[in-house]
Amino acid sequence: MNLENPKKFSMLVNQAHEVALNFFRPISRKYDKAEHAYPKELDMLASLLDGFNDGAADAPNSTSLGKRGASNDDSNKNGTNMSAALGVFELCYGDTGFLLAMPRQGLGNSAIGAVANDEQLARFKGKWAAMAITEPGCGSDSAAIRTTAIKDGDDYILNGEKIFVTCGERADCVVVWATLDKHLGRAAIKSFVVEQGTPGMTIARLEHKLGIKSSDTAAINFTDCRVPAANLLGNPEIDVQKGFAGVMETFDNTRPLVAAMAVGCARASLERIKELLKEHLDPDYATPPLNASHIAASIYRMEAEWEAARLLTLKACWMADNKKPNSKEASIAKAKAGRIGSEITLKCVELAASVGYGEDELLEKWARDSKILDIFEGTQQIQQLIIARRILGKSSSELK
């Protein structure tokens, strides 16, 4: 098993690292203080990424989130899921909020890439798509969605409220999860692409948040919102046998990417704390942890946890590229990276004491930003529940 980054992605990794250091970090504090202000500097970078992504589906420079994996053959593939994760590692080393605010790189694009048909992939190409799942009475349990979609001729009429929609105001369109029939439960939940400005779709408010302040988070109301039937992603038929699986395929793409965000942000904190406390560390790792100082032992433990999260994330992405079922591995990566990412960034603030708590350093910002990565796309508890179901072979009704 080769644990090194694929050589064909070296240019992507190097370029993303330079962007993180020289483009993101210098303006990071500016937009952290100016919540809801759009970082216009991202437009130029987004245009460059568009140029990269116009190449082949598995082009080495592709950083688009959630594109379909490699072709189904017997050869080993390192494709767009792997390249996206490597790019996310580096960009979140600079600023997680900026990655989430990047035009045309939204989590809604992952949903489109996961379940859209070929015609939809072509029609929505180049669109910036947000993703609307959470509702006031429906958080971690996505199957409890109450937003309705009623068929009316060649359209569906949507009614409901969505909250915590990342880039919900700025994106070109929103992928909205709604149920075709509340009585049929999970199987009736489908996702719809709703263009920004569609009558009946209203931005209710923008949320004030602990972190990722450069990324807008919106609440959106849908009142008799008419959406073309062609905008329903995937199969419009309700398949009770398949149930919720078709919609949940989206998470198999996005959860490893959220894990990659946590890995990148945690790496930034780890490297900075090692710079600040370098006189307490053995650069050659020759001192056993039991004989090291508390500071050194804490950093060594965090490095080991970080490396585990990184490798679990890469495994989930590799499986997606090679068309292997990765639902369990995606949740394992998200659970591990989300938890240790938050632990590492907060511990680094603690170890740096007053230096880490002040705004002269980005350590406190990274600690605030990383917390959301353990919450959205499924909380820590939900990921552990999914993992348990997969390992034990239990359904959601058997293990709650």
pTM of the shown model: 0.91
Per-residue pLDDT of the chain (400 residues; tens, 9 = 90+): 577 899 999 999 999 999 999 999 999 999 999 999 999 999 988 887 776 555 434 443 334 444 444 445 567 888 989 999 999 999 999 999 999 999 988 788 888 888 899 999 999 998 999 999 999 988 777 778 999 999 999 999 999 999 999 999 999 999 999 999 988 878 899 999 999 999 999 999 999 999 999 999 999 999 999 999 999 998 888 876 555 555 677 788 889 999 999 999 999 999 999 999 999 999 899 988 889 999 999 999 999 999 999 999 999 999 999 999 999 999 999 999 999 999 999 999 999 999 999 999 999 999 999 999 999 989 999 999 999 999 999 988 899 8
245-392 CATH fold: Butyryl-CoA Dehydrogenase, subunit A; domain 3 (1.20.140)
Residue 146: count of CB within 10 angstroms of its CB: 14
Residue span(s) of the chain under CATH 1.20.140.10 come to 245-392
pLDDT digits (tens, 9 = 90+) for 223-252: 999 999 999 998 888 876 555 555 677 788
The CATH class for the domain spanning 7-123 reads mainly alpha
Give CA separation, 167 vs 158, 172, 191, 261, 366, in Å.
20, 9, 17, 16, 20
Block residue for tokens 């203080």: 33
Residue ranges of the chain that CATH labels 2.40.110.10: 129-231
User: Do 142 and 117 touch, CB atoms closer than 8 A?
Assistant: no
Cα R_g (the chain), whole angstroms? 21
Neighbours of 335 (CB within 10 A): 25
DSSP H helices, 93-146, are 96-100, 107-115, 118-123
Helix axes 80-92, 10-19, angle to 10 degrees: 30
Residue 175's beta-bridge partner residues?
131, 193
**DSSP summary character for residue 21:** I
Let me know if 377 is a catalytic residue: yes
Superfamily of domain 129-231: Butyryl-CoA Dehydrogenase, subunit A, domain 2 (2.40.110.10)
Burial of 384 (0-12, 13-18, 19+ CB in 10 A): middle
Q: Which of 161, 361, 364, 377 is catalytic?
A: 377
- The three-state secondary structure class of 192 is strand
Cα distances (Å, whole numbers) of residue 210 to 23, 101, 171: 23, 16, 22
- Residue 398: CB atoms within 10 Å: 9
